[in-house]
Amino acid sequence: MKDHITIEGHDGAFAAYIARPKTSPAPAVAYHGGDTEKYLGEVGGLSAPLLMHLAEEDEFISKPAQAEIKAALAKKPNATVYSYPGQNHAFTRHNGAHYNAAAAALANGRTSEFLHQQLR
């Protein structure tokens, strides 16, 4: 079993995750990772499992930035990126302005399965 996990949902979460010491990599989940594209040069050092959720209509992460993120992480066998069509930033935030129950349930179910697999 991994010693700990990281679940992040705020801007800069991906940067904080990949910038931390790599001696004890733990699995991580990133929801709505604003500014992720600014830190893609660090992806080479990513050794821990990563699950990322991106809203396709995210007003803080442009479509070109999302394409960069997906392309960079596609090179990492331990990274999975899910994209949610028609969803805006923070679509999983319960009672938030862009909350979508169906999309949130899908993302949260994927997260639950990922964590179940990683924490065996």
Residues labelled catalytic: 58, 89
- Angstrom CA distances, 63 to 1, 77, 97, 115, stand at 36, 23, 21, 28
Q: How many CA atoms lie within 13 A of 92 on its CB side?
A: 21
> How far apart are alpha carbons 72 and 79 in whole angstroms?
10
> How far apart are alpha carbons 23 and 47 in whole angstroms?
10
